[in-house]
Structure 1
Amino acid sequence: MRIEQEIPPGCRPECPAGLSQSRKVVYAAIVANVAIAISKFVAAGMTGSAAMLAEGVHSAVDTGNEFLLLLGMKHSEKPPDEWHPFGYGKVLYFWALIVALSVFSLGGGISIYHGVVALRNLPALEDPTWNYVVLTLAALFEGYSWNKSRKELNERRRTDESLWQAVRRSKDASVFTVFIEDSAALIGIAVASSGIWLGHQFHNPYIDPVASVIIGLVLVAAAFALARETGGLLVGESIDRDQILKLKEMISSEPAVEKVGHLLTMQLGPDHVLLTAAVRFRRGLGINELEQAIDRLECAIKAEYPSVHHIFLETGSFRSSFRS
């Protein structure tokens, strides 16, 4: 027997504020990247720096990626319908995966290609002053955007985990995508600055194109990190183990529950989780008592985990779940 109860009115979760905060993070990244891309391309044209051109391509790709994230966020908010009864939350993960592929091919690939071409046809060293001015401005803009995403991650970070662990645990692809992109951008700015400075310091035209290749490799690494995180969410990642154990404890603590078998969850969106559990209720419960017990369980789960939107309690498969 499988039971899915309507969420009691007093237990319906409020509309999550996380989505609007995530959108602010993406808007900040768009503003920063547009300003940075324009200034980098102007500086690259004036100085002929391969590293600066690679950085300009990187910022232009990042700008397009943020618009893709906004597109994914908009479509993920569509209400459930006949063909998508659990909603469209995973659309955001699809577009985040496209962003990862874009960073890999357009950002990393073009930067590496341009660096290799520049190594074959070395550009003449020119006055790097504008490069330093633009890179300083880029660092300020990127730092602002990076700090916005960092603050949002810190809001969700547990006291015993690092920022990278918070990224790994996060289910909001828009926030951790901006954070990873901006982290790669700040590393790229540092590499570009070092390449330009060392090239002029040692009068060596090879260093600048090598910096472009290194920037491309940094972007490839960022793309793999993004693909790993978004790919797991797209194919049906569960909530983390600690939350699953706590949910089991909550259900087991209900007086009407005798035992809890398997408990499965799936992330359907940043703030949208499906939960199914094999539960054995005490024998002899009346229909009213059973309904009240289910209502109590759902209210307790909603109070602790507002992102759980669908709760299925299975009793028919209880024995088989314990055998497995």
Structure 2
Amino acid sequence: MSAGGGTKAIVAALLANAGIAVAKFVGFLITGSSSMLAESVHSVADTSNQGLLLLGQKTAKRKANIEHPFGYGRDRYFYSFIVALMLFTLGSAFALYEGIHKIQEPEALSSPIVAVVILVVAIILESLSFRTAIVESRLIKGDVTWWQFIRQSRTPELPVVLLEDAGALFGLVFALIGVGLATVTGDPVWDAVGTLMIGVLLGVIAIILIIEMKSLLIGEGATPRELDLIVDELAAGRIERVIHIKTQYIGPDELLVAAKVSMTSGLAVEEVAQAIDDAEHRVRAKVPAARLIYIEPDLDRSTAATS
């Protein structure tokens, strides 16, 4: 994926959430709906989150230096991890607190039709944002399932935006159900139930993101498909076998490859150097993210021991 990391999807989500947050707060002030308040805080959190994702993309572009010789690519993982934490604390925790509070002290809604109209409009806007994230993700998703894409993607922004937008859509539906039932039955407890459902939903999404972003932040290797391609391209030409290999993503667009290889015997130093250069070119042609490649010629002692 390009260094943009789904910038179009992030910006679309930011603009949609900023507008929706204002509308929801107005709706809460008019109706007093706890579901509307929870959704307002949720939209504010999402807007802040998209800002953090854009900040991470910007800081990750800083050039490598003596202190950070491999660059700042992991900034994108760090800010995505912060986004997951914010979604949990600002979104889920607040909604759960507000839902429990409103169950204990229910308050009747005023002008619920205002909340319904705002929620319907918000669902339409959020659907457009979600569609943009899906279109951007399909460019790099390949033939894996959406769940596999979220679990396996080494680019953090699009999985984050996808889950955020999905959570926002379901959250709006839960809020609409809560407000609707509270209006039809005259029992404001349903509004609080909708708020609790929003809190649980955001909590589940936040935990998934925390787990995935923590894994990326610590350092993940190449995907199984990428590793197979790398090994196949290394073990060609005058390289007979890959003895040992380790990989790690040091940024969404930069993969570090370190390998020990067994080479054809009797090669001159110049031939060894050329064989290594050729191997690097082959690997980068198949896995463009493999920008840093270190190849060490070595003896294949396992073969020597059995001969």
TM-score bracket, normalised by the shorter chain, equals: over 0.9
Please tell me whether the aligned partners of residues 255 and 292 of structure 2 are also in contact (alpha carbons under 8 angstroms).
yes
What is the rounded CA distance, in whole Å, between the counterparts of 1:120 and 1:317 in structure 2?
73
Secondary structure of residue in 2 paired with 1:20:
coil
For the pair 1:84 / 2:102, whether they are aligned, the reply is no
Secondary structure of residue in 2 paired with 1:239:
coil
For the pair 1:283 / 2:295, whether they are aligned, the reply is no
Aligned length: 304
What is the rounded CA distance, in whole Å, between the counterparts of 2:189 and 2:168 in structure 1?
22
1:276 Cα deviation (Å)?
Answer: 0.9
Match of 1:64 among 2, 26, 48: 48
Residue 73 of structure 1 is matched in structure 2 by: 57
Please list, as runs of the form range in 1=range in 2, the aligned pairs for 1:117-196 lying within 5 A after superposition.
117-159=101-143, 161-196=144-179
Distance 1:318 1:42, change over 3 A: farther
Deviations 1:107-149 (CA, angstroms, capped at 9, x unpaired): 1001111111111221113232111111112112211211111
What is the rounded CA distance, in whole Å, between the counterparts of 1:247 and 1:21 in structure 2?
23
Please tell me whether the aligned partners of residues 69 and 174 of structure 1 are also in contact (alpha carbons under 8 angstroms).
yes
Residue 226 of structure 1 is matched in structure 2 by: 209
Distance 1:138 1:318, change over 3 A: farther
Please tell me whether the aligned partners of residues 109 and 188 of structure 2 are also in contact (alpha carbons under 8 angstroms).
yes
Secondary structure of residue in 1 paired with 2:111:
coil
1:202 Cα deviation (Å)?
Answer: 1.9
For the pair 1:312 / 2:294, whether they are aligned, the reply is yes
1:21 Cα deviation (Å)?
Answer: 5.4
Please tell me whether the aligned partners of residues 153 and 163 of structure 1 are also in contact (alpha carbons under 8 angstroms).
no
AA aligned to 1:310 is L
1:214 Cα deviation (Å)?
Answer: 1.0
Residue 46 of structure 1 is matched in structure 2 by: 30
What is the rounded CA distance, in whole Å, between the counterparts of 1:299 and 1:145 in structure 2?
39
1:69 Cα deviation (Å)?
Answer: 1.1
Deviations 1:49-100 (CA, angstroms, capped at 9, x unpaired): 1101100000001111111111111111111110111110011111111111
Please tell me whether the aligned partners of residues 153 and 167 of structure 1 are also in contact (alpha carbons under 8 angstroms).
no
Secondary structure of residue in 2 paired with 1:315:
strand
Please tell me whether the aligned partners of residues 80 and 86 of structure 1 are also in contact (alpha carbons under 8 angstroms).
yes
AA aligned to 1:282 is T
Residue 111 of structure 1 is matched in structure 2 by: 95
Q: TM-score, normalised by structure 1?
A: 0.90
Taking CA–CA contacts closer than 8 Å with sequence separation of 6 or more, which of the two structures ends up with the larger relative contact order?
A: 1
Secondary structure of residue in 2 paired with 1:280:
strand
